[in-house]
Structure 1
């Protein structure tokens, strides 16, 4: 079984904002912001409607990161790990 290492607290990720260079903060799965039901959907199911070609065929989880300083938002793919 594969699962997102970031969603499950196995790893932490600190990124840099492309706009201002400050630290970004993980806001969770990008898909969780689609509507009120999306946080409860399976990752593989919601990837079928995310608009990213072949995302359901990859072992990644798309996360939303926000800059602490300027508020810039960016999606980043996080690799899933085998359990």
Structure 2
């Protein structure tokens, strides 16, 4: 298992919304939104279902970013 700096609170990432140029908020791992228990599942196993076929091999953690101003959503791959 690798170490995601965003998940562990070591780093923050400021992502600017492409629509309104306000700062988007990191909502956490994409896989945490699958169901009520997905946040408690093994991280490496969940990477097999996160929508990126290579996230496990590339040691990437997909994070969900949301803009509260214009409701734009996007994901960013963070290097573990």
TM-score (norm 1): 0.87
Q: Which residue of 2 aligns with 1:33?
A: 33
Q: For the Cα contact (< 8 Å) 1:16–1:22, is it kept in 2?
A: yes
Q: Which residue of 2 aligns with 1:63?
A: 63
Compute the displacement of 1:34 (Å).
Answer: 0.6
**Of the two structures, which has the highest relative contact order with CA contacts closer than 8 Å and spacing of 6 or more?**
1
Q: Which residue of 2 aligns with 1:16?
A: 16
Bigger mean CA deviation after superposition, 21-30 or 50-59:
50-59
Greater per-residue strand proportion: 1
Compute the displacement of 1:24 (Å).
Answer: 0.4
Give the total of aligned pairs.
Answer: 80
The separation in 1 between residues aligned to 2:13 and 2:20, in whole angstroms, is 18
4+ long deviations beyond 2 Å = none
RMSD over aligned Cα, in angstroms?
1.3
Gaps of 5+ in 1: none
Gaps of 5+ in 2: none
